């Protein structure tokens, strides 16, 4: 739990960096309005504007905060009905303005403890349904699937597919990329194919992907630049097709799909996949896209055998003569 001393130190250092004198109850609001306008023939033509404002809570908010901090019971989560709240990417309404520091600390502790409460309930339910469940999964794993997905919190692989613990070996990163210089991704693929002998490798993107949207935006993203460049390279490869799509949202969705297809190609280029398929006729590589609007998976139906044949003209790593 955050102590009052730590909170005061944080606020003090924030004042020094900002060069502003603000009270401990002053709210820091960061509003980012991004537009992604990509005229035909001009891929990176969008602008991002960011406004930083300091706003003090109203007297009623101060009073409410003071009243709530005087009670021992944990504060309620930020109100879903507060018109001044900002909407998070998960769709929940979060507003911390006017909350006392001790209320925030209690709320953070509350959300932390809730995870362990759910864990205990889940473990008890699993044991009730199958008394041997934990002895079976502790004996080892033999997953059918390797799932390469986006780190986005809204796309949990097991929940949207109905898979159970032990069914999928999961790797996630921003925009579900498979880069040959990413030792993490390469190690996951090698281990999943050579040691776990997965039968399917799924690259799953999703419409509304923030990583893809960021790559379509003409903005310096700092450390993210080298990572997002991989998506921009996908746009470059399909520039003619994408620029021919007049609707911006449709163009965005299509880049999500094309990014998945290219990452599938990158998976197929690996020695582990090529050699295992030549010997065992698996794994098969699939490209899927998840729809946030309806919760459904779309199979892009990539032709794995054909793509494998096409890339082996240059990327053949099967040691065949």
Q: 10-residue block means of pLDDT along the chain (321 residues)?
A: 42 42 36 40 41 39 42 50 43 65 92 97 96 95 97 96 96 97 97 98 98 92 94 97 96 98 98 97 98 98 96 90 54
* Catalytic residue selected from 171, 206, 251, 286: 206
Residue 264 assigned to a binding site? no
| pLDDT for the residue 197 | 98
* Catalytic residue selected from 106, 209, 253, 264: 209
| Measured distance between the N- and C-terminal CA atoms of the chain, rounded to whole angstroms | 63
Do residues 65 and 98 make contact, with C-beta atoms less than 8 angstroms apart? yes
β 168-173/145-150 pair status: parallel
Determine whether 206 is an active site residue: yes
Determine whether 154 is an active site residue: yes
Tell me the C-alpha to C-alpha distance, in Å, between residue 316 and each of 82, 256, 265, 293. Answer: 58, 27, 13, 40
Determine whether 25 is an active site residue: no
Element containing residue 257 per DSSP (H, E): helix 248-268
| pLDDT for the residue 319 | 78
pLDDT in tens, 43-78: 444 433 333 333 434 444 444 444 444 344 555 555
| pLDDT for the residue 99 | 83
Tell me the chain's radius of gyration from C-alpha atoms: 24
* Catalytic residue selected from 94, 154, 172, 232: 154
d(CA 180, CA 269): 9
Angle at Cα 248 formed by Cα 242 and Cα 251, nearest 5°?
Answer: 30
| pLDDT for the residue 320 | 64
Tokens 């009905």 belong to 81
Residue 206 assigned to a binding site? yes
Assign 3-state DSSP to the chain and report helix, strand, coil percentages, each to 5: 45, 15, 35
| pLDDT for the residue 316 | 95
Residue 204 assigned to a binding site? no
| pLDDT for the residue 76 | 58
Determine whether 150 is an active site residue: yes
Helices 304-315 and 271-280, interaxial angle, to 10°? 120
């Amino acid at each position: 739990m955050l102590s009052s001393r730590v909170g005061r130190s944080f606020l003090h250092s924030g004042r020094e960096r900002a060069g502003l004198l603000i009270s401990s109850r002053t709210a820091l609001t960061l509003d980012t309005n991004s537009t992604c306008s990509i005229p035909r023939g001009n891929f990176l033509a969008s602008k991002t504007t960011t406004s930083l404002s300091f706003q003090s809570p109203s007297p009623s908010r101060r009073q409410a905060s003071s009243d709530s901090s005087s009670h021992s019971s944990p504060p309620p989560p930020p109100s879903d009905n507060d018109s001044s709240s900002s909407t998070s990417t998960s769709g929940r309404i979060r507003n911390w303005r006017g909350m006392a520091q001790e209320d925030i600390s209690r709320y953070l502790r509350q959300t932390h403890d809730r995870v362990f409460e759910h864990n205990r309930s889940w473990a008890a339910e699993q044991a009730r349904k199958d008394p041997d469940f934990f002895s079976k999964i502790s004996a080892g794993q033999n997953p059918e699937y390797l799932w390469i997905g986006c780190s986005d919190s809204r796309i949990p692989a097991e929940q949207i597919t109905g898979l159970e613990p032990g069914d999928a070996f999961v790797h996630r990163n921003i925009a579900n990329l498979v880069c040959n210089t990413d030792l993490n991704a390469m190690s996951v693929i090698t281990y999943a194919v050579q040691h776990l002998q997965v039968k399917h490798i799924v690259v799953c993107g999703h419409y509304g992907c923030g990583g893809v949207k960021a790559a379509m935006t003409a903005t310096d993203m700092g450390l993210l630049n080298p990572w997002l460049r991989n998506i921009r390279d996908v746009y470059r490869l399909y520039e003619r097709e994408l620029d021919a799509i007049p609707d911006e949202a449709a163009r965005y969705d299509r880049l999500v799909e094309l990014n998945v297809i290219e990452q599938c190609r990158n998976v197929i280029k690996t020695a582990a996949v090529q050699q295992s398929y030549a010997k065992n006729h698996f794994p098969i590589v699939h490209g899927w896209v998840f729809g946030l609007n309806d919760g459904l998976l779309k199979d892009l139906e990539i032709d794995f055998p054909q793509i494998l044949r096409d890339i082996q003209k240059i990327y053949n790593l099967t040691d065949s003569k």
